[in-house]
Structure 1
Amino acid sequence: MSEAYRLPDKALVAASFSKAAGSYDGVAELQRQVADALLARLPTHTVQRWLDVGVGTGYCSRALACRYPHAQGVALDLAMGMLQVARQQEAASAYVQGDAEALPLASDSVDLLISSLAVQWCGDFAAVLSEARRVLRPGGVLAFSSLCQGTLHELRSSWQAVDGGVHVNRFRRWDDYQNLVADCDMQLIGLQEQAHILCFNDLRSLTRSLKEVGAHNINQGRPEGLTGRARLRALQQAYESFRTEDGLPATYRVVYGLLRKV
């Protein structure tokens, strides 16, 4: 899978996450883990204005408001439903609906751009990097986390044992991230891939979690309509082969990136 690969229509992505805004915080364990890990990686530098791209319900924005109490914050998301929930936290100075591939901000206007588990939905990651470089001031930092190929491999493999349909969201390859970051004309501070594994009691708990966080299957080519009982039983049987003493694992391959505009 290489750049640029086909992702779900952005209107569908926005609608899916808007619909999930009310249930998101109750099931966003992975999202909080990854956000905390990304925030812990931030270098020390002066921040007068920050931008949170893919703000979701505002977890990172609240942390940034505490870390930089005198800075102005801008929270941006494609999903209006998420923005409406995040705005209630009043952690940022402005809440803006927008796209990471075409940021509605002036050039050289922010000192920190942070984006946690959002840019995997962008088909053109080179454009994401280019826009980040444009809006950052010299010395400004881009900090992002994203998902790469290998995420939910247990679920994908189990579905492959049942049929050949597209049942699991596709993600960019790790070497695509490496190549695109190397070509983006910013100073690389760090780029790592790390596995985060969540465990569930049963398959229904996993699929419910994906739906309630807004990250269920929204790929082009996904099967339409309800999944038959026989196919669900076959899926459950296939997934059981992955069970550990902690339950059914769901592996997320997370990319952490830090870059500085020079």
Structure 2
Amino acid sequence: MTDQALAGLPDKRQVAASFSRAADSYDSVAALQRHVGGELLARLPAELALRRWLDLGCGTGHFSRVLSQRFAGAEGVALDIAEGMLRHARPLGGARQFVAGDAERLPLREASCELLFSSLALQWCADFPAVLGEAERVLRPGGVLAFSSLCVGTLQELRDSWQAVDGLVHVNRFRRFEDYQALCAASGLQLLTLERQAEVLHFPDLRSLTHELKALGAHNLNPGRPGGLTGRARIRALVEAYERFREPLGLPATYQVVYGVLRKEPS
């Protein structure tokens, strides 16, 4: 099965460079990322016993440190495509190894882990079937892939506001939830749970939202995005368009989060 979102996702070299630049600012604005990762941890099977786990897309290593505490005695590997994130994470510990690598071509042996944990990283992978295939290869029989990702509808308010201004691509594209359903079903892994949950953040103004996206390294990375500086008139028009969404708590920014837990069939 081909991944329908393949052509619309950013070049992974740009993703790596953007997140490397954001390594020092990421944790200061990562409240949603912490919440989503915690929700993913709560979805892990209760009976899971580990000798080795992989934090796939470890970022600054926050959840590597959480996993090392939860599964004391197990060997941890933290992997990320962004070298800057690994340089930030390595001195803080948590994993035994910190590895630069790609989720679509994992630098790990077959059947070497009981858990692949990946929170808010796989939305940047253009070839999701390859990610699932690598998970099946690397997991031991009975091992678990637990991931959170983002799907269509994420930052829809910002997307609609830009559409009203110039109709160009200013907001990152994401897969449809239905694509995650189809690809997981076709993966050869046993699907334990797959669900979508909306998380809404509120900001006092548009500048606060765009500052957070830049600090996370998750601002517009799409191919076909407009180049150059955005003029003042267009920014004013964008602010006016976004104000239509204002709620009592502020300007909403909706994230459509996908939670998936899959298991490799026991031998």
TM-score range, shorter chain: over 0.9
Q: Does 1:34 align with 2:39?
A: no
Match of residue 234 from structure 1: 237
- Partner of residue 18, structure 1: 20
- Percent identical residues: 65
Deviation string 1:174-204 (CA, Å, 9 cap, x unpaired) is: 0000000000011111000000111000000
Aligned partner of 1:188 in structure 2 is: 191
Aligned with residue 152 of structure 1, among 150, 155, 167: 155
Match of 1:63 among 61, 66, 74: 66
User: Is 2:168 the counterpart of 1:165?
Assistant: yes
Following superposition, the deviation at residue 11 of structure 1 comes to 0.8
Q: Which residue of 1 aligns with 2:8?
A: 6
* Residue ranges of structure 2 left out of the alignment (5+ in a row): none
| Equivalent position of 1:200 in the other structure | 203
Matched, 1:118 2:125: no
Unaligned residue ranges in structure 1 (runs of 5+): none
Q: SS of the residue aligned with 1:193?
A: strand
**Aligned length, in residue pairs:** 262
Kindly indicate whether the alpha-carbon contact (under 8 Å) linking 2:5 and 2:174 is maintained by their aligned counterparts in 1.
Answer: no
- Offset at residue 3 of structure 1 (A): 4.1
| Cα offset, 1:4, TM superposition | 2.5
Task: Report the Cα offset of residue 214 of structure 1.
Answer: 0.2
SS at 1:196 equivalent: strand
Q: What is the rounded CA distance, in whole Å, between the counterparts of 1:241 and 1:164 in structure 2?
A: 17
Q: What is the deviation of 1:164?
A: 1.5
**2-side partners of 1:51 and 1:115: how far apart?**
8
- TM-score, reference length from structure 1: 0.99
Aligned to 1:209: 212
The aligned runs of 1:41-52 (5 Å cut-off) are 41-44=43-46, 45-52=48-55
SS of the equivalent of 1:226 reads coil
Output the TM-score relative to the length of structure 2.
0.97
* Paired amino acid for 1:2: Q
Amino acid at match of 1:242: F
For each residue in 1:122-158, what CA deviation from the matched residue of structure 2 results, as whole angstroms up to 9, or x when unmatched?
0010000000010000000000000000000000000
SS in 1 for 2:143: strand
What residue number does 1:259 align with?
Answer: 262
Q: Does 1:246 align with 2:249?
A: yes
Name the CA distance, whole Å, in 1 between partners of 2:173 and 2:52.
33
Deviation, 1:86, is 1.0
Give the drift of 1:119: 0.5
2: CA distance between counterparts of 1:88 and 1:31?
21
For the aligned residue pairs, the C-alpha RMSD in angstroms reads 0.9
CA contact (8 A) 2:53 2:116 kept: yes
Matched, 1:142 2:150: no
Runs of 4+ that moved beyond 4 A: none
Q: Equivalents in 1 of 2:227, 2:205: separation in Å?
A: 23
Letter of the aligned partner of 1:247 in structure 2?
G
Structure 2 counterpart SS, 1:88: helix
